[in-house]
Homo-oligomer: A and B are copies of this chain.
Amino acid sequence: MRTLKITVAYDGAGFSGWQIQPGRKTVQGTIEDALTAIEGRRVAVAGSGRTDAGVHALGQTASFTLTNPLPAANLKKALNRILPAAVRIYDVAEMPAGFHARRAAVAKTYEYRIHREETCPPFVYPFAYWYPFALDEEAMIAAAPLFAGTRDFRSLAANARGPRQERAEKSTVRTIFSSQLTRRPDRLVYRVRGSGFLYRMVRNIVGALLEVGRGKLKPSGIPALLAARNRGLAGITAPARGLFLVAVEYDNE
How far apart are A151's CB and chain B's nearest CB, in angstroms?
A: 33
Stretch in A83-91, A188-196, A209-217 with 4+ CB within 8 Å of B: A83-91
Q: A130 CA to B130 CA in the complex, in Å?
A: 28
How many subunits of this chain does the assembly comprise?
2
17 other contacts beyond A56-B122, A85-B122, A87-B122, with CB at 8 A cut-off?
Answer: A9-B121, A9-B122, A9-B123, A10-B122, A11-B122, A11-B123, A56-B123, A80-B119, A85-B125, A85-B130, A86-B122, A86-B125, A88-B119, A88-B121, A88-B122, A90-B119, A123-B127
Q: A89 CA to B120 CA in the complex, in Å?
A: 10
Please, which residues of chain B bring their CB within 8 A of the CB of A86? 122, 125
* Interface bin, chain A: 20 to 34
User: CB within 8 Å of B: which residues of A?
Assistant: 9-11, 56, 80, 85-90, 119-123, 125-127, 130
The chain B residue sitting closest to A91, CB to CB, is B119
The chain B residue sitting closest to A89, CB to CB, is B119
